[in-house]
Amino acid sequence: MAAWVVLTLLLSGNLSAGQPAFNHVRSEEERVRHLVETGYRRSATFRALVDSVEASPCIVYIVRTVHMAQGINGALVHVAAGGREQPILRVLVRPNVSDDEAIATIGHELRHVIEAVNGDGGPGVDFTVFDRLDAAPGTTSGGRKYETGAAIIVTGVIRKELRLSRQQR
């Protein structure tokens, strides 16, 4: 019986040496899953963000795409799929940045996910939290690039933690 359980886990791909299993932070891309696992291992702040999303009612799919505005490394798409009780969100990440920068960008966007999920205190996603913000520098009022102080701070902290973890190796 135990052999069948082990075989089932091996065939399903859910048995990996020491790698965390994420149910709410997902990607179909092996490269992105590796970035999330690496960030989770090397940055306490990134880990806390992933854990927060894992505890939330939403599912976040992370995909790499080159179709992004100039100077933008990542974005949270402001349209949710799924239902109000379990919205499905999409995070976009530019593929041609360093691993550490991609991890910091994913963390930044996960912070936005948390802001959107917790925006109104009720179930579902409140993207109006972004409508109430000023447009990011370099955009016009009503522009589509939004930023929060918390996400900016998170990015810097994750970068620092990744740099320190690299030095400690």
pLDDT tens digit sequence for 30-86 = 999 999 999 999 999 999 999 999 999 899 999 999 888 888 999 999 888 888 888
**Domain range annotation of the chain:** 18-167
Query: Looking at residue 143, what is its pLDDT?
Result: 44
Rounded distance, CA 46 to CA 80, Å? 23
Rounded distance, CA 146 to CA 30, Å? 29
Q: 99: Cβ–Cβ under 8 A, 6 or more apart, which residues?
A: 35, 38
Nearest to 117 by CA among 71, 76, 68: 76
pLDDT score of 19 more than 80: no
Query: Looking at residue 55, what is its pLDDT?
Result: 94
Rounded distance, CA 39 to CA 25, Å? 12
Looking at residues 135-150, what average pLDDT do you find?
59
Strands (E), the chain: 25-26, 59-64, 74-76, 81-82, 87-93
For residue 47, give both structure tokens. Answer: 């880990």
The pTM score is 0.80
Rounded distance, CA 3 to CA 108, Å? 42
